[in-house]
Structure 1
Amino acid sequence: MSETSHETEGPTGVVLAGGYSRRFGERDKALARLDGRPLLARVVARLAEVADRVVVNCRADQREAFADALDSSAGFDSAATPVRFVADPVPDRGPLFGFRTALREVGTETCALAACDCPFLDPRLLSDLAERLADDPDADVAAVRTGDRLRPTQAVYRTAAARRACDALLDDGEGRLSALFDRLDARVVPAEAVGGDAARSLFDVDTPADRERAAEMLDRETSAERGDGTPREREPGVAARR
């Protein structure tokens, strides 16, 4: 059975945001706006629906801009959900290294891990996984399976077990986040069985084209809600698809 920390409240949210976003271009994708809000702010706000606190892993040079993005974002109450920014001691060592850095600041028994580039993160999915993990004392992580792939982000981990796994993998020279499943006992939940909308929740923005697609998804949903087929005004910097 996994170790248990002294705290037994709900999971801490953890956001991985320390990469260089090379596929996105010159701008940090965590600060790219969708519907007028930075991607990071959208993810943190959605995590806050299932977590009382959030840890954002980043580089030291990102911290100020990230904090400003949250402070200026509509729909996020930093007073209600404390956010701690934790910088990697060595930048750009990969997501597994970033996760280990963030885990050192987590004091709860479990944590919900997300990437900064999933603007439609569904709190219902994370709540479902947290409940499944709580009901399975022998599991170290509850994760979604899409096809033959287990998703290491938008998963809920037992903090102590995840720390041990990160340490062991990094000591072995492993940098892949998905390698955690080689060290942890997983409660596997097929995408079609998990709460919420898994396909939408797991959609990520790696490139400017992905952000355009995300904007179009929002346009379609807004038009459907209005019932008039009229797309809303597109945010600056997002071109219409030709």
Structure 2
Amino acid sequence: MRAAVIIAGGRSTRFGDADKAVADLAGVPMTRRVADRLVTVVDRVVVNCRADQRDALERAMAGYPLPVAYAVDPDPDEGPMAGIRTGVRAVAAGADEASGNGAADPDAYALVVACDMPFVDPEFVDYLFERAAGHEAAVPQLDDEWFQTTQAVYRAGPMADACEAALDAGERKILAPLERLEWVVVDDAEIRARTTPETFENCNTRAEFEAATERLAADDGGDGGGDRSDGDGGDGHEGGVG
């Protein structure tokens, strides 16, 4: 089974007073726009969020064609590693949001992606799943040595355990869990052979959001261009790591 964990639990401090996770981006809430790009390459979606976001996110995801579950951070504002831990733990548990039960599958693979990456390339996501097979993670790294940990694929159970261990040890760097895993790097040459760095572009500020809105409105979800992502899923959940 392939799952997507959309990290939406950050505070969006650079975005202003609104929650960018559900902000309208060319007519579609941001998180839903990310989810819509993944519908052909995953089997289910888990949205990691704070408790106070859940109602708005449920409205944003209404009518989505795949099963959707919500993994609420037990202690919000603990940073990106905690959000990833909560999301992939839900994938490993196999809980079905509709029925409240389901078979646990710790070996399931999960794409972790920030909610503010509206140009995520589904074909590249498919490749990440292929690269992760037989390993515990596949993490892209651009030629600037920036690891894109919030557009990466992880084996859910081991990654959840690794995040838990790192948090218990007081580690907060997003790469810390990877030190406990057997993982592969998807390097710059592989990335550019299959996609462009725009797949990692995110929207942290109003200006970036407005620029993305113009591109999407002009190109109906287009390919666009931009800078490397720091993939924050709302400032508290940044993911790109140098």
Identity of counterpart residues, as a percentage?
41
Task: Choose from 143, 155, 158 the match for 2:155.
Answer: 158
Matched, 1:132 2:131: yes
Of residues 174-183 and 149-158 in structure 1, the stretch that sits farther from structure 2 once superposed is: 174-183
Task: Choose from 156, 160, 178 the match for 1:181.
Answer: 178
1:214 paired residue number: 212
* Distance change (3 Å), C-alpha of 1:183 and 1:149: farther
Matched, 1:197 2:205: no
* Separation in 1, partners of 2:186, 2:58: 34
Question: Computing the radius of gyration over CA atoms, which structure comes out larger, 1 or 2?
Answer: 1
Matched, 1:52 2:43: yes
What RMSD over aligned residues (CA atoms) do the two structures have, in Å? 2.0
* Separation in 2, partners of 1:119, 1:173: 32
* Separation in 1, partners of 2:218, 2:6: 28
* Separation in 2, partners of 1:185, 1:176: 18
Unaligned runs of 5+ in 2: 95-104, 224-242
* Separation in 2, partners of 1:181, 1:169: 10
* Separation in 2, partners of 1:191, 1:32: 31
* Separation in 2, partners of 1:212, 1:197: 23
Any conservation in 1 of the 2:26–2:217 contact (CA below 8 Å)? no
* Distance change (3 Å), C-alpha of 1:196 and 1:29: farther
* Separation in 2, partners of 1:43, 1:196: 19
- Quote the offset at 1:216 in angstroms: 3.5
* Separation in 1, partners of 2:111, 2:12: 22
* Separation in 2, partners of 1:177, 1:115: 13
2:100 paired residue number: none
* Distance change (3 Å), C-alpha of 1:219 and 1:36: closer
* Separation in 2, partners of 1:179, 1:209: 32
* Separation in 2, partners of 1:176, 1:159: 19
Q: What amino acid is the match of 1:43? A: V
Q: Could you tell me the TM-score, scaled by structure 2's length?
A: 0.79
Q: Could you tell me the TM-score, scaled by structure 1's length?
A: 0.79
1:91 paired residue number: 76
Of residues 97-106 and 180-189 in structure 1, the stretch that sits farther from structure 2 once superposed is: 180-189
Q: What amino acid is the match of 1:206? A: N
Secondary structure of the corresponding residue to residue 111 of structure 1: strand
Matched, 1:144 2:140: yes
Secondary structure of the corresponding residue to residue 146 of structure 1: coil
* Separation in 1, partners of 2:218, 2:60: 26
- Quote the offset at 1:39 in angstroms: 0.8
Any conservation in 2 of the 1:34–1:215 contact (CA below 8 Å)? yes
* Separation in 2, partners of 1:103, 1:220: 35
Q: What amino acid is the match of 2:71? A: V
Of residues 23-32 and 183-192 in structure 1, the stretch that sits farther from structure 2 once superposed is: 183-192
* Separation in 1, partners of 2:109, 2:11: 28
Unaligned runs of 5+ in 1: 1-8, 72-76, 226-242
Residue deviations 1:51-99, cap 9 Å, x none? 111110101010001111122xxxxx42x30111121111111111111
- Quote the offset at 1:198 in angstroms: 3.4
Q: What amino acid is the match of 2:183? A: A
- Quote the offset at 1:182 in angstroms: 2.5
2:32 paired residue number: 41
